[in-house]
Each structure stands twice: as C-alpha cells, then as structure tokens.
A and B are shown apart, each in its own frame.
Chain A
Amino acid sequence: MFVPLLVLRNAFRHKLRTTLTVVGIVVAIVAFGMLRTIVDAWYAGANASSSARLVTRSSVSLVFPLPLSYAPKIRQVDGVTGVAWANWFGGIYVNERNFFAQFAISPSYLAMYPEFVLSDDERRAFVADRSGAIAGRKLAEKYGWKVGDQIPLRGTIFPGTWTFNLRGIYDGAEEGTDTSTFFFHYAFLNESIKQKLGGRGDQAGLYIEQLAHPDEAAAVSAAIDAMFRNSLAETLTETEKAFQLGFVAMSEAILLAIQAVSFVVIVIIMAVMANTMAMTARERYAEYATFKALGFSNGFVALLIFAESLGIALFGGLLGVALTFPAAETFAKTVGSILPAFKVSTDTIVLQVAAALVIGVVAAAIPAWRAARVRIVEGLRAIG
C-alpha cells in the first residue's frame, strides 16, 4: 500500500499541473480514437463486403452505364447463381447538405443482400408499390422518417422531383452493416427515364453477381469480362471488396494524412507529458536523494517516477477512451451519411490504451533514469 499511496499523493501535489496534463492526454486520446475511427469507417464498406459477390461495371469509368441486356448473359456464366443491378440516383433531399446514398435496384437485389434485414410485411409492401422505397434505420432516424411517409428527392443526374413512398425501414444484420442507404425500384426509374429522356433507358450503373463458390471469383470475373470484350461497353468485374477498395484508394492520400496526424497527436502529448515529468522529477531531487540516503534503491526512485507517469497517462487515457464513445456518436450523427459505419472498434480502444501506456513509459524514461543516477550528495544540495 505504501508505494501506491505515495504515488497517488505525489501525482496530485500540483493539482493544476496534473489536471492540465490529464486534460491534454484526454484530448489527445479522443483525437487519436476519432481519427482512427474515421479511417476504419472509410474501410468499413470494404470490410463488410461479401466475398461471394462480384461487381461488374464499365471498364472505362463508373459513370458510364452498361446495357441492361447484359443481365441475362451474365446470368449464364458458370459459377453465377444470381444477378442484380443498381443505378446511382444522386438526388437531393430538401437541400444539398442532406447527402445520403440512393440506389435504384432490380427486384433480385435485396435477395442478394441478406445483411439488410426487412420484415416480410414491409418487403411485400415495397415490392407491391412501384414508387415504393426502403431506407436504412440510421437514415430514417436521422430525418425522422416513418413507414408511409412520402420522400421527395430532387434529381441531379435524372432531372425533376421524384417522390417515393417509404414502405419499409431495414436494419443491419451485423453491427457494422450500413443502414444509411435509400433504395427504390429500378423499374420506376427506368420507365420514368424512358418517358422523360428517351435514349437513357435500359441501362444499369453496375451489376452484382452472386457466386456459387467464392473461390471461383477470379475465374468468373475473367469469364464475364471476356464475354463483353471488344463490345461497345466493355466491362470490368472484380470482387465487391476490390470494388469498395477502389473508392477508398481515391482518397488514400487523405487517409494517410489522417493516420499520420493521429500519431503526431500522440507524439505531441508524449513530449508535453515528458516535460511535465522532467519538471516534476527535477523539483524532487532532494526527496529522491533522501529516499536513497535512507536506503531505498535507485530502482525504487525510478519506480516512483514511472508509476506516477503511468498513473497519470492511464487515467487520462481511460478517460479519453470513455469520452471517445459520446464524441464518436455526436460525430456520426453529423456525418452519418458520409461515413455510415462510424463505430469505435475494439482495435481502436486497444490502440488508445496502448498509446496511453506508451505516453506514460516514454515520458518517465529520461526523468527516471536521471533521478536514479543522481548522486545523493548532489540531490541533497538541491534543497533550499
């Protein structure tokens, strides 16, 4: 009990200094956790993607659609058990700030995504209503939507105001499943386009293929792309994960910068904490010398400094971890549609605690080494 008591009392000798140091660590650990979570959220789509699904798009660019006539041909490829297609809609709900993903989907789409959990009644209601739509739970909660509401979207790619009847709200089968997307019938979009825009009908933004065996992904991808080689709309087929990572790669430089900043924050607080511990140890040289004169070892003196540093760092670190959750929740509410799977992961918590430990150990290393080495007679002279 003697050492913990001594460490605790020493840690709070300068209450203001210790409080400010703890606040600094809390801010650093929360910032570190938030930045790591942003990076995780960026990769969440790729991580949550199924290895049993492929995505086929135009080999030129995602903005070029593929003919709807490809669907039955793709379905014939060995190893493909189902085909669905989807079009990015890109509508605006009320104003531009309300960004969320909207897809016009084929009837077979939902069957290929068992992670979107919809009740049978709502599924039937959605299928039965030509202008029906479903929204993820997070999205519905954000805008206060209820089943039966009419959702108006102003088209940017497809001009005009499109009004949808909300027929269901889906949940995620897993915690990381994105529930911030809006789906409606491809047929509704396609028919309206044909009426309004003529030549832009019967086109799909991308195809999704269900595989019989995930390990056939490479062969099936090659077979699909070979089928449309030298056509007017050549395809590029890849796993859903690779497709998602392609989006992530577009912002890789930003992600690297975020990761770098997250570590810089830790290095900065490490330097601040090291300065605090150096000041603390210097002020107590006479006490350390007295301990040594009384027979306590150099190691004991080093232990006192390490324990105090680790105690402060861990206290701040754990407080930071605890505060990361409400901070992440607030952040997710603000940018939920942009980073739908914004959850603090176990890995992030482990990293935060590890960072706090490293801060504590590194900050104490030099002061402890110096205090352990200081000669008793020199330390005693430090008084008065």
Chain B
Amino acid sequence: MSADAEAGTVVERRDESGAEVEPLVAIRNLSKYYVRGDQVIPVLVDIDLDVAEGDFVALMGPSGSGKTTLLNLIAGIDKPSAGEIRIAGVDITQLSDADLALWRSANVGFIFQFYNLMPVLSAFGNVELPLQLTSLSRRERRDRVETALALVGLSDRATHLPNELSGGQQQRVAIARALITDPAIIVADEPTGDLDRTTAEEILGLLERLNRELEKTIIMVTHDPKAAEKAHRLVHLEKGVLVH
C-alpha cells in the first residue's frame, strides 16, 4: 500500500473472486496551476484519489484549498495542468471539449450552491433540461421528469418558476435535474451553503437517501461539518494538497 492509500485516498478493492475492482473515479498525479505573468500559482498539487462506485465523499478544507477546483476537474468542467482522471474507465483529460460536453451530459449530475436553475423555465422544464440532449421522446421525458420530481417531493410544484419556489425547493429541483439522466456521479458544490439549517438538513437527508437507496455516487464540497457527517468518507485539502 502506498502512503496515499494509507491516508485513505487510494483504496484497492477486490471482488469476491479476488480480482481488483477499478474505482469509479481514479485520480492520479493530478495538478492544477495558474500562470499569471511569470508567476506560477499552484491550486492542486499531485493529487491521488479513488472514489468507489456508490461512495459518498465529502471534500473539505479551508477557502482556497482547491476543493472546488478538484470537484470541477472530476466533473469535467475544468482542465488539469497535469495528471489523469479516469471515471468509469474513461480518461476525461484526453477528451476534446465537444466529447467532454457529451460525456458530462451522460455521466455527471450537478448540484450547485445557488441552484443554477433557468429562471424562465418551470421546475418541470429545468428538470427536463438535460434530457433535451437525449433522443428520448416527449412522453418518455415527461415520465422521467414526473418520477424525478416525485422523488424530491415536488410533484405539485412542476409548473412553478424558480422565483416562485423557496431556496430548499429550488435545490430539490436542482437535485431532480442532477438525477434525471441517471449519471455515474453526482457532484455537489456547497449544496446547503445558501440554505437555513432545517432546509439544509432536508437536502442532506435527500442526498443521503439518493446514495443509500439509489446507490448514487456523490462527491460533495462543503464547509459544513454537519453536512460532512452524512458522507461515508472525508477528504481534506489544504493548500492544494490532500492531507488525510
């Protein structure tokens, strides 16, 4: 076992026959830095991290530690300076922008701190949005959206615009949108950061349920220790380095 593995960031898993099981997310030697003039600013330094299928990982660390950058890289919305990110066997660092967009639409569900719903679309329209990129018929899309809205308890709010919903309801719409394509991973960036404690508990309960009942792999960035308690595993970052 490597030092990283001992720290719990790289984990060897084997199936019943003893064969090694590839983790859903396998990150190796990942670095990200920005160049400003002649200055190189490191954001992530030589990160190794595995996330198994069905895991619920919380990324924690102080502001500027690189946790959101790491999440963005895993989600395929940012490009690393070096290293490899394999997700379900695909090295996403090698994909072109167009291929990466296609990959994201099929494999990643996003939950943002400020929900990022389209203000002109109803809850239904927002949840349906990722399905517009698929070849599903209108009826199939409608069935899926209704199921997702029911799952997050918002069937009666389908026709409401985001500004007609509370923060918690908007985040539940965002969760339904993240689920709708049945993605391999769900990435959540401070999903309770804009919510009061009670609503945050509801949202965390919903994420926990998705992980437990639907076996969704969730990677969540949070500052909130209470939110982190819901995760199976905590990964701490400090100044771009995994500390334990």
By a beta-carbon cutoff of 8 Å, the part of chain A in contact with chain B is: 2, 6, 9-10, 13, 286-287, 290-298, 375-377, 380, 383-384
Contacts and interface: CB of A to CB of B under 8 A. Distances in A.
A296 to B, nearest CB: 7
10 contacts: A9-B120, A292-B77, A292-B101, A294-B110, A297-B101, A375-B78, A377-B72, A380-B116, A383-B112, A383-B114
Nearest to A384: B114
Contacts, number: 59
B243 to A, nearest CB: 24
Contact of A296 (B106, B114, B120, B133): B133
A294 B129 contact: yes
Main secondary structure of the interface of B (DSSP, over half): helix
Nearest to B177: A294
B213 to A, nearest CB: 24
Contacts of A292: 77, 101
A380 B112 contact: yes
A293 B104 contact: yes
Interface of B: 69, 72, 75, 77-78, 97-98, 101-102, 104-106, 110, 112, 114, 116, 118-121, 129-130, 132-133, 177
B77 A377 contact: yes
Given A295-B133, A377-B77, A290 B118 contact: yes
Given A376-B78, A377-B77, A383-B116, A6 B98 contact: no
A9 B119 CA distance: 10
A297 to B, nearest CB: 6
A295 B105 contact: yes
Nearest to B104: A295
A119 B75 CA distance: 84
Contact of A293 (B75, B97, B106, B132): B75
B171 to A, nearest CB: 14
Contacts of A296: 101, 105, 133
Contacts of B104: 293-295
A9 B163 CA distance: 14
A383 B129 CA distance: 19
Given A2-B132, A295-B106, A297-B98, A377 B78 contact: yes
